[in-house]
Amino acid sequence: MARDIPGKSMLMRTVPTAMVALLLSAVSLLAADLTLTQTCSSRGHEEEQTQLWSSRFMRINHPESQVDFLVDFQQGVSYGIDHRKKLIQKMSWDDLELATEVSRERLKTLPPLVLRAMGLSDATVRVEEQGTEILLGHECRKWKICLGPMIIETSNDPSVHPPGPALPYQRFLRLQTLLGQLQPAPAPAVKMGEELAKVQGIALNYRVVLPVVGPSTTTTTRIEEGPISSSAFDLPPDYQMEDAGRKMLENLGCGFNFRAK
């Protein structure tokens, strides 16, 4: 079985950016709407992105690639929005959870040698605090996070929290973590959640190092707290809507009947 789950390609194109942004953001029901302007650097290329948080939604806009990522915490749905193709790929969390369960069961049948070759046998999870630094006038705590072969170096401001419903956020974070670090057993993901709980506040700067892909850095250049228009989270009404969750399950051989269970 390939490491990637079939059917998730466009929806997950903003990962690890979207996933890491969520991993490093502890939500709070008392926080105001939040807008972050950020610069992303990877392989000598720079681009801007905007991260928007409300009590219901999180959205990351990428003007250059024109592929945005939207999370609806109330409905339990994520969207990949490709403006060039005028295509929206919808992923329900129920489908995502089922796909990870099916994929994990299949991984259990693979020999340990194959799992090692796929990079799926390393369950290392470690979080280390590494002092403080000042960014945009905010005192941030520095952390080094090891998630298997992925290394994240982040500076978080514990005084700034994006808003959001706690339980749906926790479920989404768990699913994104499982998908990004798919393992034959759930123990590494549980350990990961325990370790990541140490990191509080929002990441103003983070550097991600992935095998083969190499390093990428996201730096926040501006923070704004205050109301965001609900229209900022609207889906384009004239775009084609594709059910990426159903397609993923079909590619895994689940079919509609399996999905309905």
Euclidean distance between CA atoms 79 and 68, whole angstroms: 8
Structure tokens at 115: 């799992």
According to the model, what pLDDT value does residue 151 have? 85
Across the beta sheet with 240-243, what order do the strands follow?
125-135, 138-147, 150-157, 202-210, 214-225, 34-42, 45-53, 57-61, 67-72, 77-82, 87-92, 240-243
pLDDT in tens, 64-83: 999 999 999 889 999 999 99
pTM for this entry = 0.74
Among residues of the chain, what percentage have pLDDT more than 90?
A: 36
**One-letter amino acid of 108:** K
According to the model, what pLDDT value does residue 95 have? 83
Structure tokens at 184: 């034959």
Q: What is the largest CA-CA distance in the chain?
A: 55
According to the model, what pLDDT value does residue 210 have? 78
Euclidean distance between CA atoms 140 and 142, whole angstroms: 6
Taking only the tens of pLDDT, the chain with its 261 residues reads: 334 444 444 434 444 455 555 555 655 555 689 999 999 998 888 999 999 999 899 999 999 999 999 999 889 999 999 999 999 999 888 888 777 776 666 655 555 554 455 454 555 678 899 999 999 999 999 999 887 777 889 999 988 877 877 667 667 766 665 554 544 444 555 566 666 667 778 889 989 887 777 889 999 999 998 999 999 999 999 999 999 888 877 876 765 444 444
Q: CB-based burial of residue 164 (10 Å sphere; 0-12 exposed, 13-18 middle, 19+ buried)?
A: buried
Integer CA distances (angstroms), 139 to 110, 146, 151, 208, in order: 47, 23, 22, 21
According to the model, what pLDDT value does residue 97 have? 77
Q: Among 154, 125, 181, 137, which residue's Cα sits nearest to residue 26?
A: 154
According to the model, what pLDDT value does residue 4 have? 44
Bond prior to 16 in cis (omega within 30° of 0): yes
Euclidean distance between CA atoms 213 and 193, whole angstroms: 24
DSSP per residue, 125-145: EEEEEEEEEEETTEEEEEEEE
* All residues at 6 or more sequence positions from 223 whose CB lies less than 8 Å from its CB, including other chains: 34, 35, 36, 136, 138, 160, 204
Euclidean distance between CA atoms 27 and 202, whole angstroms: 8
